[in-house]
Amino acid sequence: MNRVRRLWSCAAGFPSRIVCKHLMSEMRTQLKAQQGKFMSIRTLSLCLTIAVAAAVAPAMANARAYIDIDIAPPAPREEIVLAPRRGYVWSPGYWNWSGHHHVWVRGRNIREHHGHHWVDDRWEQRGERWHHERGHWN
């Protein structure tokens, strides 16, 4: 086998080690070029993903969920209101619908948004059904 390889390389006019080194060097160069293309595609897709997320996030932040059910919420519970804190507003507790029954959500302080006011969670009767509107900034 070695003799055949030596004869072939001698016939081509190059020693076999030089041919192998040249081929390996050329293959490495091509591989690096392909990796560079792959990296740029990956970087581009990452940038596009971040851009789409940044564009969609504000729309998702303003989305509200409305719930209409046949079961009236229980009377609101009495709760201890925490002392006012600077930069926060009090959001009172409310009954939330869990899909099968009402669950009490305790009141809490939420960080104030300057120039806006907090609209509390509320239930209102609409005909035979009860409609829940989540608390939001207005």
Q: Which residues contact 65 (CB under 8 A, 6 or more apart)?
A: 134
Do residues 80 and 52 both lie within one domain? no
pTM of the model: 0.52
80 secondary structure, DSSP code? P
Do residues 82 and 99 both lie within one domain? yes
Query: Domain of 81?
Result: 66-137
Are residues 19 and 12 in contact, defined by beta-carbon separation less than 8 angstroms?
A: yes
Q: Which pLDDT tens digit goes with each residue over 50-59?
A: 877 777 666 6
pLDDT score of 7:
45
Q: Which pLDDT tens digit goes with each residue over 12-51?
A: 555 556 666 766 777 777 777 766 666 677 777 777 788 7
Look over the chain and give the mean of its residue pLDDT values, rounded to a whole number. 79
Are residues 104 and 121 in contact, defined by beta-carbon separation less than 8 angstroms?
A: no
Do residues 79 and 94 both lie within one domain? yes
Are residues 120 and 135 in contact, defined by beta-carbon separation less than 8 angstroms?
A: yes
pLDDT score of 95:
96
Domain end position, chosen among 19, 46, 61: 61
- State whether residue 136 is helix, strand or coil: strand
Q: Exposed, middle or buried: residue 91 (CB in 10 Å: 0-12, 13-18, 19+)?
A: middle
Q: Which pLDDT tens digit goes with each residue over 81-99?
A: 888 889 999 999 999 999 9
Do residues 129 and 101 both lie within one domain? yes
Number of domains forming the structure of the chain: 2
Do residues 78 and 108 both lie within one domain? yes
Do residues 56 and 87 both lie within one domain? no
Do residues 56 and 81 both lie within one domain? no
